[in-house]
């Protein structure tokens, strides 16, 4: 799996996908869970507890495979996983619900109708699982429109090919299980192993789908501290906006991002995206208005270099531009002086004096402006400070006497 550039198409990696459960931590997990699953025949409730515990652990590990693959990591995860148990419970709930719907259709409907129900559920299940892995809630994942959206983003041809591969994997599992069912203990062990192979291979394939089409899905591959980076709401929003832009719908992308900005606090990344969309439209009034809000956030996050660049850009577009808060403007002007950008400091203080002529801090702004206007006065003031400090130092012993 490449670390950079466009990922290799999944249809070129069929052998790797099939062999994935037989490598590293996946193979260890497959063997361990297969052996432990034999204890499901233990008497009493112990067997049921072992059976549920093994398959819960296997599902949790399968989700770890999906997430790590989606984040671009080719090696199977270690046996100790980081996946949140909540998503595993949502997955189990999803499977129970799908199985219940199918069983109900078998009992209540004619065989052709039941077959169509099975086909429909099998088609929707991969999309629902991927939706859960992308951070969606169970109701959202169960919505057929969500699967349709995923199909649209990835492309019908790619989804159909992936679905065919998933079907082949599951058919191999069922066929292998049917052949080995009649055997004694060894057959039982092999059935568990084949089932787990199918589970791990299928989740690896679905994870690779997310990795290959991460841009279309609004997913950002990458890990922090060895754990898959979760997909945030802003990641999904950015992906949707970029998809709209790619299709030529800049107005819709602006409306979408603007709506979320009005409803909740968004990251600096989303503010930068919003400005890039406004710049595409050359919407100078909106850029100036947004700059006040964005500048305030940059100052709160102590992103001073970006704040200075934004102030410079805004003042070039409108010499009367001022930050949202006067104290931010004064701090920026002093930073500009310290970084040898007197013209930017001059423009900031001048615009602030025009906008806030009665502000209590106007004397400091005026003094800063005067120092920039008359450098000799500033130099004389700086030169006088060591002399004054020396006079005070000489005066102290006399005061004590």
What is 203-262 written as a DSSP string? HHHHHHHHHHTHHHHT----EETTEEPPPPHHHHHHHHHHHHHHTT-HHHHHHHHHHHHH
What pLDDT, on the 0 to 100 scale, is given for residue 179?
56
For 103, counting Cβ atoms within 10 Å of its Cβ (0-12 exposed, 13-18 middle, 19+ buried), the class is: exposed
Confidence band (pLDDT; 50, 70, 90) for 82? low
Q: Which CATH superfamily is domain 233-400 in?
A: Tetratricopeptide repeat domain (1.25.40.10)
What pLDDT, on the 0 to 100 scale, is given for residue 312?
93
What pLDDT, on the 0 to 100 scale, is given for residue 227?
44
CB 161 within 8 A of CB 151: no
Residue 228 sits at φ, ψ, to 5 deg, of -60, 135
pLDDT in tens, 356-384: 988 888 899 898 888 887 655 444 344 33
Indicate if the pLDDT at residue 398 is higher than 50: no
Q: What are the residue boundaries of the structural domains of the chain, listed by start?
A: 10-225, 233-400
pLDDT in tens, 119-151: 777 777 788 888 877 767 778 777 888 888 888
Helix, strand, coil shares, percent, the chain, to 5: 80, 0, 20
Indicate if the pLDDT at residue 220 is higher than 70: no
When pLDDT is averaged across residues 309-338 and rounded to a whole number, the result is: 91
């Amino acid at each position: 799996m490449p670390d950079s550039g466009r990922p290799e198409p999944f249809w070129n990696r069929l052998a790797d996908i099939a062999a994935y459960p037989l490598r590293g931590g996946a193979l260890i997990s497959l063997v361990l869970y297969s052996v432990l699953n034999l204890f499901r025949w233990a008497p009493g409730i112990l067997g049921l507890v072992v059976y549920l515990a093994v398959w819960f652990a296997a599902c949790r590990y399968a989700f770890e495979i999906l997430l790590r693959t989606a984040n671009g990591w080719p090696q199977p995860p270690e046996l100790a996983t980081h996946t949140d148990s909540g998503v595993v419970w949502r997955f189990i709930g999803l499977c129970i619900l799908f199985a219940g719907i199918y069983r109900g259709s078998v009992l209540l409907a004619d065989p052709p109708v039941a077959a169509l129900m099975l086909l429909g559920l099998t088609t929707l299940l991969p999309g629902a699982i991927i939706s859960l892995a992308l951070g969606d809630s169970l109701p959202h994942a169960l919505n057929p429109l969500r699967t349709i959206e995923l199909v649209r983003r990835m492309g019908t041809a790619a989804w159909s090919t992936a679905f065919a591969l998933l079907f082949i994997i599951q058919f191999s599992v069922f066929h292998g299980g049917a052949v080995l069912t009649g055997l004694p203990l060894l057959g039982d062990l092999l059935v568990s192993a084949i089932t787990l192979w199918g589970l791990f291979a299928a989740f690896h394939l679905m994870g690779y789908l997310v990795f290959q089409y991460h841009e279309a899905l609004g997913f950002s591959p990458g890990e922090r501290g060895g754990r898959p980076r979760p997909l945030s709401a802003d990641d999904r929003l950015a992906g949707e906006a970029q998809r709209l832009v790619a299709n030529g719908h800049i107005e819709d992308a602006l409306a979408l991002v603007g709506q979320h900005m009005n409803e909740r606090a968004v990251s600096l990344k989303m503010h930068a995206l919003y400005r890039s969309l406004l710049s595409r439209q050359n919407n100078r009034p909106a850029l100036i208005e947004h700059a006040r809000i964005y500048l305030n956030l940059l100052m709160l996050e102590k992103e001073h270099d970006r704040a200075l660049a934004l102030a410079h850009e805004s003042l070039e577009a409108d010499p009367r531009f001022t930050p949202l808060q006067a104290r931010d403007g004064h701090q920026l002007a002093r930073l500009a002086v310290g970084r040898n950008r007197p013209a930017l400091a001059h423009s900031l203080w001048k615009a602030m004096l025009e906008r806030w002529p009665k502000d209590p801090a106007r004397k400091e702004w005026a003094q800063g402006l005067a120092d920039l206007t008359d450098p000799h006065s500033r130099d004389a003031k700086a030169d006088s400070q060591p002399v004054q400090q020396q006079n005070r130092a000489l005066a102290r012993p006399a005061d004590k006497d």
